[in-house]
Amino acid sequence: MSDMSRITDMVLYVGSDLEDEAIGRLNAWCAKNDQSRRQQFVELDTDLAGGTKFSARQVWAMTGNFFPYEDLVEALPSFGWRHPEDVVLVVDDDEDYDGVKVHRPT
């Protein structure tokens, strides 16, 4: 593996559009704890998803480079989720050979 990058793909599923404040706190945490790059999550357009209905859910994603995702997983419960039971973080780190991990704030 090259020292030039360490890629971590992360997808965050939230069960409600009422989580904007928690997402704001999450992205503020990302900016503070990833000072050299300030990588943050962006919302994916669920209107582009297949099917014939509109999703009431939100999907956020980030492909981080040398991002402190282990610390983010630890901090995940602290963002003040209104419905933490509906929040799922999927992490795929290119140096973790045990596979994709799923994390919840509860």
Domains of the chain, start order: 7-103 (3.30.70)
Instruction: Tell me the C-alpha distance between 44 and 62, whole Å.
Output: 10
Task: Give the pLDDT of residue 59.
Answer: 96
Burial of 58-67, coded b for 16+ CB within 10 Å and e otherwise, reads bbbebebeeb
The verdict on pTM exceeding 0.85 is: yes
Task: Give the pLDDT of residue 81.
Answer: 97
DSSP structure class, residue 106? -
Task: Give the pLDDT of residue 53.
Answer: 82
Q: Rg for the chain (alpha carbons), in Å?
A: 14
Q: Tell me the mean pLDDT in the region 14-34.
A: 94
Sheet strands (E) in the chain: 7-14, 42-43, 58-65, 87-93, 101-103
Given a cut of 60, whether residue 14 has pLDDT beyond it is yes
Q: What is the pLDDT of residues 47-102, one digit of tens each?
A: 888 888 888 899 999 999 999 999 999 999 999 999 999 999 999 999 888 899 99
Q: Counting runs of H as helices and runs of E as strands, what totals does the chain give?
A: 2, 5
Task: Give the pLDDT of residue 1.
Answer: 46
